[in-house]
């Protein structure tokens, strides 16, 4: 009897805490999309950085790449929706760190299930145009 209970308990724990593919939802078990899922599946948006925190943390791995997380205040504009301002932890791919300065315009990806889960996709259109035009 103890062996059966142990087996059933193990199965329950396995299904509750198994690894799920990134970005497969925002349930209480899988959590919000991570940086890599956001970059692939997030809603395109544009943002203007209003305030950038100096404290940062590094995350990631050699397979998918590294990114940094900073607390920022940002004005977010998604096509067809009213713009909104939020203070959140912004995921920034390591190669785009120099772009994260107050006043910068950035291309973003926003988690459709959580409007404060945001990742930097690239430089803003205005920045890219200015660089090409000069």
Assess if residue 9 is contained within a domain: no
| Residue with token string 């785009």 | 96
Give me the pLDDT at residue 34, please.
Answer: 77
Assess if residue 27 is contained within a domain: no
Assess if residue 46 is contained within a domain: yes
| Residue with token string 């050699």 | 62
Assess if residue 50 is contained within a domain: yes
Q: Residue 103 maps to which CATH number?
A: 2.40.50
pTM: 0.64
Question: Max Cα separation, the chain?
Answer: 77
Assess if residue 12 is contained within a domain: no
Assess if residue 5 is contained within a domain: no
Give me the pLDDT at residue 63, please.
Answer: 66
Assess if residue 49 is contained within a domain: yes
Give me the pLDDT at residue 86, please.
Answer: 93
Query: CA 3, CA 7: separation in Å to the nearest integer?
Result: 6
Write out the residue range of the structural domain in which residue 94 sits.
Answer: 33-133
Assess if residue 92 is contained within a domain: yes
| Residue with token string 């996709």 | 121
Our count of domains for the chain comes to: 1
Give me the pLDDT at residue 24, please.
Answer: 39
**Mean pLDDT for each consecutive 10-residue tract of the chain (134 residues)?**
69 51 39 75 93 78 75 93 92 84 92 89 58 44
From the list 26, 11, 25, 77, the residue with the least C-alpha distance to 49 is 77
Give me the pLDDT at residue 64, please.
Answer: 66
β 65-77/84-93 pair status:
antiparallel
Give me the pLDDT at residue 74, please.
Answer: 95
């Amino acid at each position: 009897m103890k062996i059966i209970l142990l087996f059933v308990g193990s199965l329950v724990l396995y299904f509750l805490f198994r690894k799920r593919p990134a970005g497969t939802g925002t349930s209480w078990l899988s959590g919000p999309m991570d940086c890599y899922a956001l970059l692939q599946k997030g809603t395109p948006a544009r943002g203007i950085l209003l305030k950038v925190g100096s404290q940062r943390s590094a995350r990631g791995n050699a397979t998918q790449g590294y990114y940094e997380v900073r607390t920022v205040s940002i004005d977010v504009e998604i096509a067809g929706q009213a713009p909104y301002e939020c203070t959140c932890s912004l995921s920034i791919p390591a190669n785009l760190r120099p772009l994260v300065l107050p006043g910068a315009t950035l291309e973003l990806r926003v988690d459709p299930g959580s409007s404060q889960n945001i990742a930097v996709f690239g430089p803003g259109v205005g920045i890219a145009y200015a660089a090409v035009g000069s």
